[in-house]
Structure 1
């Protein structure tokens, strides 16, 4: 089943729901979405606010398609009904969070993981597992970029037989 509705390669951006316009992480996500779109990629993300809205806005303003993968579990999150943001061209909806993350990983050939909370950590964790077990197609387009000002760098092994390592930045313990 074609989940992308696009003949362009897809890059998925994972990141926080919280950043607002003008905040550094929002602006970074916008710039990444725009740069990916200008390079010819379709941008995929979780479809909601924060870095998801920013990256989709950047891609749309650069003239490219966007995909938002949403989930029923977030239907009443934080006391409000979450819907795909208005920069999403195609919404793909799942009933559980693992199916949502799996869909984003499998449809994409590249990944950007920005600073975030537990949701982003879950996305990164499943992505790391897929890469380590060789469950995503290796190749020059399946690279990952992780960023965040409260993150530490580290390197994790890729699947056997693939070149290089999966480089990541892991969140530091935050002060209460």
Structure 2
């Protein structure tokens, strides 16, 4: 099946605020160059300038998001089909969060992220997308009304937590798991407080919860109380109620 968005992604590359297309596209990403240890020793001379670029990303992100109303970050797969129940749930969650008085923050991409942004926009709320430079970047979805593109994952992850009062996590892949466990770690270590985390989709998440209980906790790598760091539900209204009540709405 023809995929115009996929074709566009292959012809377009975003590097922070810069968009490159066709013959102007470059190999690799900024994160990759920063973390690559196999390159030349040029990094000795380049890293001070990278620090300035990293600083500028923090400044731009803080400046764009500092006046947000209370917000909830919603995570989920970029591969969630638009005609799926998961997508519909994402739209309902985005709408419900706005109706509860919150802005909605996502990664700004397609799938579940687009769904939450769509619900937020249709409800007349603030719909935030925090994009990231990737080898095949699809750009921000059309339902984002406040967007910021980042080069570095760690800067972007700071924004997700700093400007959100909680997380709703829809079924997703490695990126979703990364954000989930980052948040769980911050709550467990009390780096953040009053930060509810709601997993939406019992069937999807139950295997992970069973592994946490039956392996991680059973072997003493975590405590039974760590299972209280998050809630799991299949009900949209319950998810919204849990995340907004504990966030202090």
Q: Tell me the residue number matched to 2:199.
A: 146
TM-fit CA distance, 1:15: 0.7
Q: Which segment drifts farther, 127-136 or 4-13? A: 4-13
Identify the residue that residue 39 of structure 1 maps to in structure 2.
100
Q: Can you give the 5+ residue segments of structure 1 that lack an aligned partner in the other structure?
A: 159-163, 170-176
The one-character-per-residue Cα deviations of 1:43-96 (angstroms, maximum 9, x if unpaired) are 001000001100000011001011111111x2x33xxx3211111111122212
1: CA distance between counterparts of 2:68 and 2:160?
Answer: 16
The separation in 2 between residues aligned to 1:135 and 1:15, in whole angstroms, is 23
* Further displaced range: 58-67 or 89-98: 89-98
Task: Note if 1:95 corresponds to 2:151.
Answer: yes
Cα offset for 1:150? 2.1
- For residue 15 of structure 1, the aligned residue among 76, 79, 99 is 76
Quote the residue 1:165 is aligned against.
228
Distance across 1 between alignment mates of 2:169 and 2:88: 15
- Larger helix fraction of residues: 2
Tell me the TM-score normalised to structure 2 length.
Answer: 0.58
Greater share of strand residues, 1 or 2?
A: 1
Larger radius of gyration: 2
Q: Do 1:12 and 1:43's aligned partners in 2 also have CA atoms closer than 8 Å?
A: yes
Q: 2:127 aligns with which of 36, 50, 66?
A: 66
Cα shift at 1:125: 1.2
Equivalent pairs counted in the alignment come to: 156
- Provide structure 2 residue ranges, at least 5 long, that are not aligned to the other structure: 1-61, 214-223, 233-249
Pick closer, same or farther for the CA change 1:112–1:134 going to 2, 3 Å: same
RMSD between superposed Cα atoms in Å: 2.1
Q: Is the 8 A contact 1:44 1:67 kept in 2?
A: yes
* Higher mean displacement: 125-134 or 51-60: 125-134
Instruction: Tell me the residue number matched to 2:20.
Output: none
Native 8 Å contact 2:68 2:163 kept in 1: no
